[in-house]
Structure 1
Protein backbone atom coordinates (compact mmCIF):
# COMPACT_ATOMS: atom_id res chain seq x y z
CA UNK A 1 0.00 0.00 0.00
CA UNK A 2 2.85 2.39 0.83
CA UNK A 3 4.41 1.61 -2.53
CA UNK A 4 1.14 2.38 -4.36
CA UNK A 5 0.76 5.65 -2.44
CA UNK A 6 4.36 6.64 -3.27
CA UNK A 7 3.79 5.91 -6.97
CA UNK A 8 0.57 7.95 -7.00
CA UNK A 9 2.26 10.84 -5.20
CA UNK A 10 5.13 10.77 -7.71
CA UNK A 11 2.69 10.74 -10.63
CA UNK A 12 0.82 13.74 -9.21
CA UNK A 13 4.07 15.66 -8.66
CA UNK A 14 5.21 14.96 -12.23
CA UNK A 15 1.87 16.05 -13.69
CA UNK A 16 1.58 19.18 -11.53
CA UNK A 17 3.71 21.52 -13.67
CA UNK A 18 1.74 20.49 -16.76
CA UNK A 19 -1.63 20.91 -15.08
CA UNK A 20 -0.99 24.41 -13.72
CA UNK A 21 -1.28 27.39 -16.09
CA UNK A 22 1.82 29.41 -16.83
CA UNK A 23 2.41 32.27 -14.41
CA UNK A 24 1.29 35.56 -15.89
CA UNK A 25 3.70 38.45 -16.07
CA UNK A 26 3.25 41.12 -13.45
CA UNK A 27 0.60 43.73 -14.27
CA UNK A 28 1.69 47.36 -13.92
CA UNK A 29 -0.26 50.39 -12.73
CA UNK A 30 -1.31 51.02 -16.33
CA UNK A 31 -2.96 47.58 -16.51
CA UNK A 32 -0.38 46.20 -18.95
CA UNK A 33 1.63 43.03 -18.36
CA UNK A 34 5.31 43.72 -17.64
CA UNK A 35 8.12 41.38 -18.68
CA UNK A 36 11.59 41.69 -17.16
CA UNK A 37 13.10 42.16 -20.64
CA UNK A 38 10.91 45.18 -21.44
CA UNK A 39 12.65 48.56 -21.19
CA UNK A 40 11.26 51.43 -19.16
CA UNK A 41 12.35 54.43 -21.23
CA UNK A 42 11.34 58.05 -21.79
CA UNK A 43 9.68 56.79 -25.00
CA UNK A 44 11.74 58.97 -27.30
CA UNK A 45 11.98 56.38 -30.06
CA UNK A 46 15.08 58.01 -31.56
CA UNK A 47 16.87 57.67 -28.22
CA UNK A 48 15.52 54.13 -27.77
CA UNK A 49 16.78 53.24 -31.24
CA UNK A 50 20.25 54.64 -30.46
CA UNK A 51 20.40 52.75 -27.16
CA UNK A 52 19.28 49.53 -28.85
CA UNK A 53 21.94 49.96 -31.52
CA UNK A 54 24.65 50.64 -28.92
CA UNK A 55 23.73 47.29 -27.31
CA UNK A 56 23.78 45.51 -30.68
CA UNK A 57 20.00 44.96 -30.57
CA UNK A 58 16.97 45.73 -32.71
CA UNK A 59 14.25 48.10 -31.51
CA UNK A 60 10.87 46.39 -31.13
CA UNK A 61 7.69 48.17 -30.03
CA UNK A 62 4.84 46.19 -28.51
CA UNK A 63 1.50 48.01 -28.39
CA UNK A 64 -0.95 46.61 -25.81
CA UNK A 65 -4.02 47.74 -23.87
CA UNK A 66 -5.54 47.22 -20.44
CA UNK A 67 -7.84 44.20 -20.26
CA UNK A 68 -6.70 42.76 -23.59
CA UNK A 69 -7.30 39.00 -23.42
CA UNK A 70 -4.99 38.41 -26.38
CA UNK A 71 -2.19 40.34 -24.67
CA UNK A 72 -2.69 38.23 -21.54
CA UNK A 73 -2.58 35.07 -23.66
CA UNK A 74 0.67 36.23 -25.25
CA UNK A 75 2.23 36.88 -21.84
CA UNK A 76 0.98 33.60 -20.36
CA UNK A 77 1.47 31.20 -23.26
CA UNK A 78 3.93 32.67 -25.77
CA UNK A 79 6.48 34.81 -23.95
CA UNK A 80 7.38 32.13 -21.35
CA UNK A 81 8.72 29.91 -24.18
CA UNK A 82 12.50 29.72 -23.56
CA UNK A 83 13.30 30.36 -27.24
CA UNK A 84 11.23 33.54 -27.24
CA UNK A 85 12.56 34.77 -23.88
CA UNK A 86 16.08 34.28 -25.20
CA UNK A 87 15.33 36.18 -28.44
CA UNK A 88 13.68 39.03 -26.54
CA UNK A 89 16.58 39.32 -24.10
CA UNK A 90 19.47 38.82 -26.52
CA UNK A 91 18.29 40.30 -29.83
CA UNK A 92 15.65 42.93 -29.14
CA UNK A 93 15.31 46.19 -27.20
CA UNK A 94 11.61 46.03 -26.36
CA UNK A 95 9.56 49.13 -25.56
CA UNK A 96 5.91 48.73 -24.57
CA UNK A 97 3.27 51.30 -25.55
CA UNK A 98 -0.34 51.63 -24.41
CA UNK A 99 -2.90 51.78 -27.24
CA UNK A 100 -5.01 54.22 -25.16
CA UNK A 101 -2.14 55.78 -23.21
CA UNK A 102 -1.60 59.48 -22.58
CA UNK A 103 2.15 59.21 -22.00
CA UNK A 104 4.05 61.52 -24.34
CA UNK A 105 6.33 59.82 -26.85
CA UNK A 106 8.60 61.09 -29.61
CA UNK A 107 8.13 59.25 -32.90
CA UNK A 108 11.16 58.45 -35.04
CA UNK A 109 10.28 61.40 -37.31
CA UNK A 110 10.54 63.76 -34.31
CA UNK A 111 6.81 64.32 -33.80
CA UNK A 112 5.85 64.51 -30.12
CA UNK A 113 2.45 62.99 -29.37
CA UNK A 114 0.62 60.74 -26.91
CA UNK A 115 0.80 56.96 -27.14
CA UNK A 116 -2.82 56.82 -28.32
CA UNK A 117 -2.20 59.48 -30.98
CA UNK A 118 0.87 57.55 -32.17
CA UNK A 119 -1.17 54.35 -32.38
CA UNK A 120 -3.73 56.18 -34.54
CA UNK A 121 -0.97 57.70 -36.68
CA UNK A 122 0.54 54.24 -37.24
CA UNK A 123 -2.89 52.65 -37.92
CA UNK A 124 -2.52 50.23 -35.01
CA UNK A 125 -5.99 48.77 -34.47
CA UNK A 126 -5.29 45.47 -32.71
CA UNK A 127 -3.49 44.52 -29.55
CA UNK A 128 -1.00 43.19 -29.19
CA UNK A 129 0.87 44.60 -32.17
CA UNK A 130 4.63 44.24 -32.58
CA UNK A 131 6.47 46.82 -34.70
CA UNK A 132 9.96 45.72 -35.81
CA UNK A 133 12.59 48.30 -36.76
CA UNK A 134 15.40 48.09 -39.31
CA UNK A 135 19.03 48.18 -38.16
CA UNK A 136 19.35 51.77 -39.46
CA UNK A 137 16.77 54.44 -38.69
CA UNK A 138 15.47 57.11 -41.05
CA UNK A 139 14.63 60.17 -38.92
CA UNK A 140 12.42 61.58 -41.66
CA UNK A 141 9.95 58.68 -41.43
CA UNK A 142 7.51 57.57 -38.73
CA UNK A 143 7.91 54.29 -36.85
CA UNK A 144 5.27 52.52 -38.93
CA UNK A 145 6.62 53.89 -42.22
CA UNK A 146 10.04 52.40 -41.64
CA UNK A 147 9.01 49.18 -39.89
CA UNK A 148 10.43 46.06 -41.55
CA UNK A 149 7.55 43.98 -40.18
CA UNK A 150 4.37 44.59 -38.21
CA UNK A 151 2.77 41.65 -36.42
CA UNK A 152 -0.81 42.44 -35.34
CA UNK A 153 -2.37 39.99 -32.90
CA UNK A 154 -1.30 37.29 -30.48
CA UNK A 155 0.21 34.25 -32.11
CA UNK A 156 1.49 31.01 -30.62
CA UNK A 157 5.12 30.40 -29.74
CA UNK A 158 6.07 28.89 -33.11
CA UNK A 159 4.78 31.77 -35.22
CA UNK A 160 6.17 34.38 -32.83
CA UNK A 161 9.59 32.72 -32.67
CA UNK A 162 9.68 32.45 -36.46
CA UNK A 163 8.87 36.17 -36.84
CA UNK A 164 11.52 37.15 -34.28
CA UNK A 165 14.06 35.01 -36.15
CA UNK A 166 12.96 36.15 -39.62
CA UNK A 167 13.47 39.80 -38.63
CA UNK A 168 16.73 39.18 -36.74
CA UNK A 169 18.18 37.39 -39.78
CA UNK A 170 16.99 40.24 -42.05
CA UNK A 171 15.09 37.83 -44.30
CA UNK A 172 12.72 40.70 -45.17
CA UNK A 173 15.43 42.22 -47.40
CA UNK A 174 14.91 39.66 -50.18
CA UNK A 175 11.51 38.03 -50.22
CA UNK A 176 11.69 36.98 -53.87
CA UNK A 177 12.20 33.35 -52.87
CA UNK A 178 10.78 33.21 -49.36
CA UNK A 179 8.49 35.76 -47.74
CA UNK A 180 7.51 35.32 -44.09
CA UNK A 181 4.60 32.98 -44.83
CA UNK A 182 6.82 30.61 -46.83
CA UNK A 183 9.58 30.85 -44.23
CA UNK A 184 7.11 30.05 -41.46
CA UNK A 185 5.66 27.11 -43.43
CA UNK A 186 9.19 25.73 -43.91
CA UNK A 187 9.94 26.13 -40.20
CA UNK A 188 6.74 24.23 -39.32
CA UNK A 189 7.86 21.36 -41.57
CA UNK A 190 11.36 21.37 -40.09
CA UNK A 191 10.35 21.62 -36.44
CA UNK A 192 11.36 18.45 -34.66
CA UNK A 193 8.36 18.60 -32.30
CA UNK A 194 5.91 18.52 -35.20
CA UNK A 195 3.86 21.42 -33.83
CA UNK A 196 2.41 23.98 -36.20
CA UNK A 197 2.84 26.66 -33.58
Structure 2
Protein backbone atom coordinates (compact mmCIF):
# COMPACT_ATOMS: atom_id res chain seq x y z
CA UNK A 1 0.00 0.00 0.00
CA UNK A 2 2.84 2.38 0.86
CA UNK A 3 4.43 1.72 -2.56
CA UNK A 4 1.16 2.50 -4.34
CA UNK A 5 0.68 5.70 -2.33
CA UNK A 6 4.27 6.83 -3.09
CA UNK A 7 3.82 5.97 -6.76
CA UNK A 8 0.59 7.97 -6.93
CA UNK A 9 2.27 10.91 -5.19
CA UNK A 10 5.12 10.77 -7.72
CA UNK A 11 2.64 10.72 -10.62
CA UNK A 12 0.73 13.70 -9.22
CA UNK A 13 3.99 15.61 -8.71
CA UNK A 14 5.09 14.83 -12.27
CA UNK A 15 1.72 15.95 -13.64
CA UNK A 16 1.94 19.21 -11.68
CA UNK A 17 5.45 19.85 -13.00
CA UNK A 18 4.35 19.11 -16.56
CA UNK A 19 1.45 21.55 -16.34
CA UNK A 20 3.33 24.27 -14.46
CA UNK A 21 5.66 25.14 -17.31
CA UNK A 22 8.60 23.00 -16.20
CA UNK A 23 11.24 21.65 -18.56
CA UNK A 24 10.40 21.34 -22.23
CA UNK A 25 9.54 17.79 -23.32
CA UNK A 26 12.18 15.59 -24.92
CA UNK A 27 11.96 14.84 -28.62
CA UNK A 28 12.79 11.56 -30.34
CA UNK A 29 16.39 12.75 -30.60
CA UNK A 30 16.62 13.08 -26.80
CA UNK A 31 16.83 16.89 -26.93
CA UNK A 32 14.45 19.28 -25.17
CA UNK A 33 11.85 20.84 -27.48
CA UNK A 34 10.85 24.22 -26.08
CA UNK A 35 7.88 26.06 -27.56
CA UNK A 36 10.13 28.97 -28.60
CA UNK A 37 12.39 26.75 -30.75
CA UNK A 38 11.87 26.86 -34.51
CA UNK A 39 11.74 23.78 -36.70
CA UNK A 40 13.52 24.99 -39.83
CA UNK A 41 15.52 23.60 -42.75
CA UNK A 42 18.60 24.79 -40.82
CA UNK A 43 19.78 27.11 -43.59
CA UNK A 44 21.23 29.87 -41.43
CA UNK A 45 20.87 32.45 -44.20
CA UNK A 46 17.12 31.76 -44.41
CA UNK A 47 16.78 31.57 -40.62
CA UNK A 48 18.51 34.94 -40.23
CA UNK A 49 16.24 36.50 -42.86
CA UNK A 50 13.11 35.14 -41.13
CA UNK A 51 14.35 36.29 -37.73
CA UNK A 52 15.03 39.77 -39.06
CA UNK A 53 11.63 39.90 -40.83
CA UNK A 54 10.00 39.11 -37.46
CA UNK A 55 12.08 41.77 -35.69
CA UNK A 56 13.95 39.10 -33.74
CA UNK A 57 17.53 38.00 -33.30
CA UNK A 58 18.80 34.61 -34.47
CA UNK A 59 20.14 32.35 -31.74
CA UNK A 60 21.50 28.84 -32.20
CA UNK A 61 21.44 26.43 -29.30
CA UNK A 62 23.78 23.45 -29.63
CA UNK A 63 22.74 20.54 -27.43
CA UNK A 64 23.25 16.80 -27.09
CA UNK A 65 21.30 13.84 -25.79
CA UNK A 66 21.89 13.21 -22.09
CA UNK A 67 23.51 16.59 -21.45
CA UNK A 68 23.01 17.37 -17.76
CA UNK A 69 23.78 21.04 -18.32
CA UNK A 70 21.21 21.29 -21.13
CA UNK A 71 18.67 19.76 -18.75
CA UNK A 72 19.68 22.28 -16.07
CA UNK A 73 19.00 25.15 -18.47
CA UNK A 74 15.67 23.66 -19.58
CA UNK A 75 14.55 22.96 -15.99
CA UNK A 76 15.94 25.91 -14.04
CA UNK A 77 16.56 28.82 -16.41
CA UNK A 78 14.55 28.81 -19.64
CA UNK A 79 11.15 28.11 -17.98
CA UNK A 80 11.39 31.17 -15.71
CA UNK A 81 8.56 33.45 -16.88
CA UNK A 82 10.82 36.47 -17.49
CA UNK A 83 13.32 34.44 -19.55
CA UNK A 84 10.69 32.38 -21.38
CA UNK A 85 8.81 35.54 -22.40
CA UNK A 86 12.01 37.32 -23.46
CA UNK A 87 13.02 34.37 -25.64
CA UNK A 88 9.57 34.23 -27.29
CA UNK A 89 9.48 37.98 -27.88
CA UNK A 90 13.04 38.61 -29.03
CA UNK A 91 14.68 35.49 -30.42
CA UNK A 92 14.33 33.10 -33.32
CA UNK A 93 15.93 29.99 -31.83
CA UNK A 94 17.23 27.10 -33.94
CA UNK A 95 18.42 23.94 -32.20
CA UNK A 96 21.49 22.05 -33.42
CA UNK A 97 22.16 18.48 -32.29
CA UNK A 98 25.89 18.20 -31.58
CA UNK A 99 25.88 14.61 -32.87
CA UNK A 100 23.00 14.88 -35.33
CA UNK A 101 22.84 14.07 -39.01
CA UNK A 102 20.40 16.76 -40.20
CA UNK A 103 22.03 18.98 -42.80
CA UNK A 104 22.87 22.56 -41.81
CA UNK A 105 23.79 25.29 -44.28
CA UNK A 106 26.21 27.80 -42.82
CA UNK A 107 26.18 31.50 -43.71
CA UNK A 108 29.08 30.84 -46.11
CA UNK A 109 26.90 28.39 -48.08
CA UNK A 110 28.60 25.18 -46.95
CA UNK A 111 26.19 22.35 -46.10
CA UNK A 112 27.20 19.66 -43.61
CA UNK A 113 25.49 17.29 -41.17
CA UNK A 114 24.98 18.90 -37.75
CA UNK A 115 27.82 16.90 -36.16
CA UNK A 116 30.28 18.01 -38.85
CA UNK A 117 29.06 21.63 -38.75
CA UNK A 118 29.56 21.75 -34.99
CA UNK A 119 33.10 20.44 -35.54
CA UNK A 120 33.67 23.08 -38.26
CA UNK A 121 32.54 25.74 -35.78
CA UNK A 122 34.95 24.29 -33.16
CA UNK A 123 32.19 24.03 -30.56
CA UNK A 124 32.67 21.33 -27.95
CA UNK A 125 30.39 22.16 -25.01
CA UNK A 126 26.68 21.81 -24.58
CA UNK A 127 24.65 23.77 -24.31
CA UNK A 128 26.29 26.45 -26.43
CA UNK A 129 24.28 29.53 -27.32
CA UNK A 130 25.38 31.45 -30.41
CA UNK A 131 23.88 34.91 -30.99
CA UNK A 132 23.94 36.68 -34.35
CA UNK A 133 23.65 40.22 -35.69
CA UNK A 134 20.75 41.20 -37.90
CA UNK A 135 22.93 41.02 -41.01
CA UNK A 136 25.89 38.78 -41.81
CA UNK A 137 28.47 39.62 -44.46
CA UNK A 138 28.72 37.18 -47.35
CA UNK A 139 31.27 34.42 -46.94
CA UNK A 140 31.32 34.50 -43.14
CA UNK A 141 30.86 31.34 -41.10
CA UNK A 142 28.62 31.21 -38.04
CA UNK A 143 31.67 31.40 -35.78
CA UNK A 144 32.91 34.52 -37.55
CA UNK A 145 29.47 36.14 -37.60
CA UNK A 146 28.42 35.45 -34.00
CA UNK A 147 28.32 38.53 -31.78
CA UNK A 148 28.44 36.31 -28.69
CA UNK A 149 28.99 32.62 -28.01
CA UNK A 150 28.13 31.23 -24.59
CA UNK A 151 29.43 27.71 -23.93
CA UNK A 152 27.87 25.94 -20.97
CA UNK A 153 25.05 26.44 -18.51
CA UNK A 154 24.68 29.71 -16.67
CA UNK A 155 22.21 30.95 -14.11
CA UNK A 156 19.15 33.05 -14.79
CA UNK A 157 20.78 36.47 -14.28
CA UNK A 158 23.71 35.81 -16.61
CA UNK A 159 21.45 34.27 -19.26
CA UNK A 160 18.91 37.11 -19.09
CA UNK A 161 21.59 39.79 -19.15
CA UNK A 162 23.30 38.20 -22.15
CA UNK A 163 20.04 38.13 -24.08
CA UNK A 164 19.41 41.80 -23.22
CA UNK A 165 22.98 42.77 -24.12
CA UNK A 166 22.57 41.13 -27.54
CA UNK A 167 19.13 42.66 -28.23
CA UNK A 168 20.41 46.09 -27.15
CA UNK A 169 23.52 45.62 -29.37
CA UNK A 170 25.85 46.04 -26.40
CA UNK A 171 28.56 44.37 -28.48
CA UNK A 172 28.70 47.54 -30.61
CA UNK A 173 29.50 49.76 -27.61
CA UNK A 174 32.41 50.18 -25.25
CA UNK A 175 30.86 48.27 -22.34
CA UNK A 176 31.91 44.61 -22.41
CA UNK A 177 29.35 42.02 -21.43
CA UNK A 178 31.17 41.41 -18.14
CA UNK A 179 30.92 45.08 -17.17
CA UNK A 180 27.30 45.25 -18.32
CA UNK A 181 26.44 42.14 -16.31
CA UNK A 182 28.14 43.50 -13.18
CA UNK A 183 26.33 46.85 -13.57
CA UNK A 184 22.98 45.13 -14.04
CA UNK A 185 23.50 42.97 -10.94
CA UNK A 186 24.17 46.10 -8.87
CA UNK A 187 21.17 47.96 -10.35
CA UNK A 188 18.86 44.99 -9.66
CA UNK A 189 19.91 44.97 -5.98
CA UNK A 190 18.81 48.59 -5.50
Q: Structure 2: how far apart are the matches of 1:53 and 1:23?
A: 29
Write out aligned runs for 1:1-197 (5 A). 23-175=22-174, 178-192=175-189
The question of whether the paired residues in 2 share the 8 Å contact of 1:78 and 1:156 is answered with yes
- Once the two structures are TM-superposed, the CA of residue 22 in structure 1 deviates from its matched residue by 7.0
Unpaired runs of at least 5, structure 1: 1-15
- Once the two structures are TM-superposed, the CA of residue 173 in structure 1 deviates from its matched residue by 0.5
TM-score (norm 2): 0.87
Q: Structure 2: how far apart are the matches of 1:158 and 1:38?
A: 21
The question of whether the paired residues in 2 share the 8 Å contact of 1:103 and 1:115 is answered with yes
Name the CA shift for 1:22/1:54 in 2 (closer, same or farther; >3 Å): closer
Q: Structure 2: how far apart are the matches of 1:124 and 1:166?
A: 22
Q: Structure 2: how far apart are the matches of 1:139 and 1:100?
A: 27
- Once the two structures are TM-superposed, the CA of residue 119 in structure 1 deviates from its matched residue by 0.6
2:109 is paired with a residue of what secondary structure? coil
Deviates more, 1:50-59 or 1:64-73: 50-59
**Paired positions, count:** 173
**Aligned-CA RMSD value:** 1.6
Unpaired runs of at least 5, structure 2: 1-12
Cα deviation, 1:76-128, whole Å, max 9, x if unaligned, reads 00001112111111111000000111111100110000111111111111000
4+ runs deviating over 4 angstroms? none
2:137 is paired with a residue of what secondary structure? coil
Compare CA radii of gyration and give the structure with the larger one: 1
